[in-house]
Amino acid sequence: MHCLNLIEYRETLKKAFYLHDKRDLTIDCVLEGTMCHVITDCLDSPAVFLIKNGPFHILGGDPQHPNAAKIVASITCGSSIISTPIKWISLVEEHLALSLEKYSRYSLDHKNISTAHLNEIIRSNAGIHKIQKIDVNLANKIYLDSNFKYHFQNFTSDSDFLNRGVGYAVMAEEQIIAVASSALVCDRGFEINIMILPKYRGYSLGKLLAANLVNEILRLKKVPHWDAANEISLNLATQLGYDFIEKHQAYRVNRI
């Protein structure tokens, strides 16, 4: 398997992924050549592709190609397959060493979000939780924190995040307890990512962080893209003003 130069192979990747459902901004980032990684079977005449966005994988190209099984074999156990045509899913299901666990995700529309509503959420929580916009010092702490460094997985460094991304965090006694940030960045917008330590869930931290983050993204005149991974995430998004569009299928990858 080979890792592709996203810029050099942009036209090839466009042909491989143009019919895919874009459930998040991963494919946009790949086609812009700015984020994520793509592996393929052959650099001279690539036919099958695997996009890797942290734990999220997207398969593309010809699922009937002789090298398709090789690209499937490179899928990481514990990852999730998203935005992938059913012929590829069937091929993964046939793999002797892999099993797929289907789960639902939820597509959302941001167009009816009211900034007045977001500002009211922020105002009503003023003084209850100290929200900090991610700056140089906080970015460095997040980058070194095993609980939250995932937020920077698609950036080359914490400095790269500060140059291209945006985010907010909550701290308690010098410990980071919650972060909302742009997991993906492309010309169209930012992908929302929220993580809260388990013991601090249920205190509206996610709602407050998300309100700040979405507000900032809208101020930048970009799309605050949110693909909800579960019903908790869906409910949080709708509280902010997102409209539910539809449920779609994703797959967790397990080893047999």
Would you tell me which CATH number, out of the four given (2.30.29, 3.40.190, 1.10.10, 3.40.630), belongs to the domain 2-106? 3.40.630
Q: What is the dihedral of CA 169, 172, 178, 179, to 10 degrees?
A: 20
How far is residue 97 from each of residues 52, 254, 256, measured CA to CA in Å?
A: 20, 9, 5
Tokens (6 digits) for 215: 């507000």
Which pLDDT does position 129 carry in this prediction? Answer: 81
Model pLDDT for residues 222-249, shown as the tens digit of each residue: 999 999 999 999 999 999 999 999 999 9
Which pLDDT does position 72 carry in this prediction? Answer: 95
Which pLDDT does position 252 carry in this prediction? Answer: 96
Which pLDDT does position 76 carry in this prediction? Answer: 85
The helix/strand/coil state of 48 is strand
Mean pLDDT of 29-37: 96
Mean pLDDT of 184-204: 95
**Can you identify the CATH homologous superfamily of domain 111-225?**
Gcn5-related N-acetyltransferase (GNAT) (3.40.630.30)
User: Comparing 130 with 250, which gets the higher pLDDT?
Assistant: 250
Mean pLDDT of 116-127: 90
Q: Is residue 127 predicted with pLDDT exceeding 80? A: no
Strand order in the sheet with 167-172: 131-133, 167-172, 175-185, 189-196, 223-225
Q: Is residue 113 predicted with pLDDT exceeding 90? A: yes
Q: How confident is the model at residue 130 (pLDDT cuts 50, 70, 90)?
A: confident
Mean pLDDT of 8-15: 96
The residue count of the chain comes to 256
State percent of the chain over pLDDT 90. 90
Return residue ranges of the chain for CATH 3.40.630.30.
111-225
Mean pLDDT of 5-28: 95
Mean pLDDT of 64-72: 95
Q: How confident is the model at residue 2 (pLDDT cuts 50, 70, 90)?
A: very high
User: Comparing 194 with 203, which gets the higher pLDDT?
Assistant: 194
Q: Is residue 96 predicted with pLDDT exceeding 80? A: no
Which pLDDT does position 97 carry in this prediction? Answer: 83
